Amino acid sequence: MSGTDKSKAGLALDGPIVILVEPQLGENIGMAARAMGNFALSSLRIVNPRDGWPNIAAQRAAAGADHILERVELFDTVEQAVADLDLLFATSARAHDQAKPVVGPEAAATEMAGHIATGGKAGILFGRERWGLTNEEVGLSNRIVTFPVNPGFASLNLAQAVLLIGYEWFKRATSGELPHTMPERSERASQHQIQAFFENLIRELDKVEFLRPAEKRDTMLVNLRNIFTRMDPTKQDMHTLHGVVMAIAEGRKGPAKGGVLDGEQATRLRALLAEHGQGGGVSDSGSTVRGLARLLRRNPTDAERLLWQSLTRDRRFAGQFKRQTPVGRHIPDFVSFPHRIAIELVNPGEGETIAADRAARRAWLEARDYRVIEMRAVDVERDLEAELLRLQGMIAEGPSAS
């Protein structure tokens, strides 16, 4: 499996020494080195390789494990290769009729890890491809390692055997920590966002008379809601679902009319409009600018959607505000002509261009006796009622308020 990240440093762990006894093929040596590299085993000893050393076939098969091959130690006999070790395991697929413990790879890895941690030196013998280790070579070991495999087909490739041991040792040494997990691409959706989506979904389902018969409507709604609450949706999930529902409802190709922009997308669009002057007002003649302005109007952010639902349904404000309606040559986010109040939503990360554009719009509106209230999008999403109370207070104070 591919996936080596060249930007990440490899782990440097003290591990057991791998000893290959009279390997016959250079390719097997290279693949064994590759398996060692996968699991941070770095010490390789070779006893009397059949085709000599160095071996170009081994280098080709190592797939980047050159640092292991460059440090290979060569020996003429097994006795010489294991002379400095005080814990030795011999791998074998068959019984050798020797009175010594036989363990699996997991138990061997656990014992080796403890032994090395206390300053010991451990090694693992791997035999020839065709007939493995001799009785005399197994006799040099303290333990025999065998693998839980199909008894009718027990022979493993040399590199496979090295990999199994390496995997168990590395898992033990790193507590089984995975190199990566599922990324958290977006914050969890708030209840406001889920509710806004669900109400939108219900409206569209009612248009096609999906929620019938009437006596089953409440049960169907509960079941539908549970589908979305069980999945613990993120903000991005809600954006996508909003777009899907509206694309189906409107039957349009391309960007969905009535979709949802996130704050960053809305900010970028507002910046483009501001750079062309007057925030995309109605006096703009450029088709591109008008198109961007329409996209903003048709694809409200979560904060815009939440606030608009309250302004249209809450008895304190119902019928008093309009959204994205021109006031002269400007288009505030929300405006109340009876109260002469304009509401401006401030998205996170807005730059100087948008701020200057908003300040100019505010000055123009206030010069014509409009009161302007700015609401941060994050505040609307976090505590909508507090923002509505602030707006209610401005309305109660009347036109004299600044």
Taking 60 as the threshold, does the pLDDT of residue 113 lie above it? yes
Pair 156, 198 in one domain: no
User: Whose CA is closest to 282, among 329, 216, 223, 245?
Assistant: 329
Asked if residue 255 belongs to a domain, the reply is no
Domain boundary among 199, 225, 250: 250
Is 112 inside a domain boundary? yes
326 is a domain residue: yes
Same domain, 94 and 58: yes
Asked whether residue 274 is domain-assigned, the answer is: yes
Q: Please, which residues bridge with residue 20 across strands? A: 46, 126
Shared domain check, 103 and 39: yes
The reported pLDDT for the residue numbered 265 is: 60
- Please indicate, yes or no, whether residues 101 and 229 belong to a single structural domain of this protein: no
pLDDT for residue 255: 45
Looking at residue 144, what is its pLDDT? 93
Please, are residues 211 and 221 in contact by the beta-carbon 8 Å criterion? yes
pLDDT tens digits, 280-331: 444 444 555 556 566 666 667 778 888 988 898 888 998 899 988 888 878 8
Most confident of 32-41, 90-99, 347-356: 32-41
Helices (H), 104-178: 105-117, 135-139, 158-173
Q: Are residues 77 and 111 in the same domain?
A: yes
Residue 279 lies in a domain: yes
Q: Are residues 154 and 207 in the same domain?
A: no
Output the six-digit token pair for 17: 């020494």
State how many domains the chain has. Answer: 3
On whether both 272 and 242 belong to a single domain, the answer is: no
Tokens representing 395 are 């309305």
Return the higher-pLDDT residue of 170 and 13.
170
pLDDT in tens, 139-151: 999 999 998 888 7
The span from the CA of 170 to the CA of 181, in Å, is 18
pLDDT digits (tens, 9 = 90+) for 20-60: 999 999 999 999 999 999 888 989 999 999 988 888 989 89
Do both 147 and 215 map to the same domain? Answer: no
* Alpha-carbon gap, residue 237 to 228, rounded angstroms: 10
- pLDDT tens digits, one per residue of 41-50: 989 999 999 9
> Which residue, 216, 213, 214, is CA-closest to 224?
216
Share of the chain above pLDDT 90, in %: 36
HSE, side-chain direction, 13 A CA sphere, residue 382: 6
Domain limits at 237? 191-250
Q: Phi, psi (5° rounding) for residue 204?
A: -70, -35
Long-range own/partner contacts, residues 54-58 (CB < 8 A, 24 or more apart):
55/26, 55/29, 55/30, 56/26, 57/25, 57/26, 57/27, 57/30, 58/26, 58/27, 58/29, 58/30, 58/33
Are residue 276 and residue 168 in the same domain, yes or no?
Answer: no
H-helix or E-strand containing 209?
none
200 and 282 belong to one structural domain: no
Question: Would you list the DSSP string of 84-102?
Answer: T-SEEEEE-SS----SS-E
pLDDT number for residue 367: 92
Q: How many whole angstroms from its chain centre is CA 88?
A: 42
This prediction has a pTM of 0.49
